Structure 1
Amino acid sequence: MDAKHTLLAERLLKKPASDFSDSDRRVLRHMLDRAPVSQDPALRADTLGARVADKVASFGGSWTFIMLFGGVLVTWVVLNGVLLASPPDPFPFIFLNLMLSMIAAFQAPIIMMSQSRQAQKDREAAANDYEVNLKSELEIMRLHEKLDDLRLVALEDQLRLITNKIDAIAAAVNRP
């Protein structure tokens, strides 16, 4: 960043260049390059494990899963508690409890991984939103400065014209 742009950035951000954060520098670089700051989150490359964790969490937290799992539980209890003469898992359904515990033991950390990834995505999206908003604000401030400069030039031109007319009138009045 050259000295002219550094001065502009310091004036707009109201802090010395040495205090600029990485985010500030990135936004300023995008301003100088006239490039967009926003990023498409769909372009992010996720690992296979991350995608599986998201799918498991998505399905495990859905009404479809709750209804299917409820149906399996009811079927298990009815079969082993009422219909079968010699049930493989009689009441109190110890094998069913073991299976439920194992499912919970695997499902909980996978859901936590997915939630952690989602929180990271949210933090990145918030940081990106901040940078986009900062760039927009700085661009608007820069436009206001340009408009103010244009108004000042226009006022100076008008003042020069008025001064010339006053001088012409004074010269005409002072002529004998």
Structure 2
Amino acid sequence: MAEPRRNRLDTPTDVRRPLVRRPSYDADAFGSFAEQFARFMGTARFLLYMTLFVGIWLVWNWLAPEDLAWDLYPFIFLTLMLSLQASYAAPLILLAQNRQEDRDRVIAERDRQANARAHADMEFLAREVASLRMAIGEVATRDYVRSELRALLAELDEKRSPDPRADEE
């Protein structure tokens, strides 16, 4: 029987190289940047900055002379810039949400494990309490011992003086 071709040491292996190399990057650093960006975009400060930017853009292109206005057609370049900003913001926000979901999943798993341990501990303690109750049921209580001692004292008193009339004479 002949060995398959790929397992033989005397045959070279095919090396497949990608046509385009993927850029290398630090996924954690990029994810951290995405989270900071998403966090900033969700603030009132960002809304204020964007409102000021759009307001200045509108006022400048409206009131400035034609040779100084950079958006010659009515605000098409502004629309393009806002669309570009939104096209980058959406994936960054999604990346930040995915990272948050991963963290939430890890936290939920830890919570589930902690709950399982707590549940096992509670079951153990419930069994221990039940066994203690059963053991206590067999142990004499203070009131029971007192009543038995009183009964014994009464019995001893009766044995000392069996005939109450003999004490009167």
- Conservation of the 8 A alpha-carbon contact between 2:37 and 2:92: yes
Amino acid at match of 1:144: A
TM-score (norm 2): 0.61
Give the corresponding residue for 2:35: 54
Which of 80, 86, 93 is 1:98 aligned to? Answer: 80
Matched residue pairs, number?
A: 119
Which of 88, 110, 120 is 1:128 aligned to? Answer: 110
Give the corresponding residue for 2:97: 115
Amino acid at match of 1:104: A
> Which of 1 and 2 has greater Rg?
2
CA offset at residue 89 of structure 1? 0.9
- Conservation of the 8 A alpha-carbon contact between 1:56 and 1:110: yes
In structure 2, list runs of 5 or more residues that go unmatched. 1-26, 156-169
**Which protein, 1 or 2, shows the higher relative CO under an 8 Å CA cutoff with sep ≥ 6?**
1
CA-atom RMSD, angstroms?
2.5
Give the corresponding residue for 2:64: 83
Which of 46, 49, 52 is 1:65 aligned to? Answer: 46
Asked if 1:137 corresponds to 2:119, the answer is yes
TM-score (norm 1): 0.59
Identical aligned pairs, as a percentage? 29
In structure 1, list runs of 5 or more residues that go unmatched. 1-45
Matched position secondary structure for 1:90: coil
- Conservation of the 8 A alpha-carbon contact between 1:81 and 1:90: no
- Conservation of the 8 A alpha-carbon contact between 2:71 and 2:77: yes
